[in-house]
Chain A
């Protein structure tokens, strides 16, 4: 992350360092996020439970890259023109979706602190299952941001679809149990 930033400062990362950096951070966030989600089925198939320990750092790095992605957009692209930042977040659906995804990831990152994990107890798991929602929003944000070349976002959407399919029963169960029971 830092080396990309250093290259951007020194103008050695493509013709427009701002765009290069935004794309690099954004894509890295998406890839890390999907990688963290791939771990669960991978552990099951490979029977290597030790791999599970990677899930937390992968998720945290995804959140960090998402934060860097947003920060470069606000600071170097929109140049802290806050009125513009606000209007883009509110009026442009693809920015709105990306922003919501970042909010979700941030909440998940913060609630990964051991103390908060303990404090949340049983509620921690349903809360952290919203990572699938965040992943879906990130994919939509990517798809919506491109002008015409939908192949790359399509690929990530396919990966996410497969992941959701593999986890469908578990997710359905959480979804049902998190709804209030009214008889």
Chain B
């Protein structure tokens, strides 16, 4: 069932999934209430809900959200600005590929968090510093998928384009290779949002800002308020899910609708 491009599940389709969540919540509450009986070791769902209400009343969650989204946006936008053009150059031009490929292959396996020391040295305790760590996580999936997408552009499309007057390199990239590679580019961006989001908590850990979802997760850990820590964990998870949903239900359907009839 689909309304304005968003898939709406009926209760019937959804109940097994909902049941699993309810069972997990009951199990969690019982375990916390009767077995561990220690809200530091394992806060129960009720503790978490209360902590959420008190955090929400302080108005701190919205600030955290804004700060984290700023870090995330800096990282992702930088990754797009740098990853896509380099991916295009390498995927389209064999010389650029030969030139840059070894460098990329050496840099790529470095875990994004290993860049934290240099993030601090180069950018100080600023949002750009957190953005840089997220960038290091997000740029390679975007670059590699753009590269693969451009390499996979069928020669027949380029030649058909040439026969129809699309002869300049920039036009061939813009009108033929880019749209042909777009599904691959988009799935690269989707992977990048996931990886970038996972870098967020660590990127905020070293004190680039006074707020932020990751920053305050650590803050409440230091206060030993584990119920608040769980609140932040769940919020991080839900936002990550929301970002992925945007790709699954919006971007794929609106920008790649031509693929619906194709065998991928």
* Bound together: no
- Could you list which residues of chain A lie within 8 angstroms of chain B, going by C-beta atoms? none
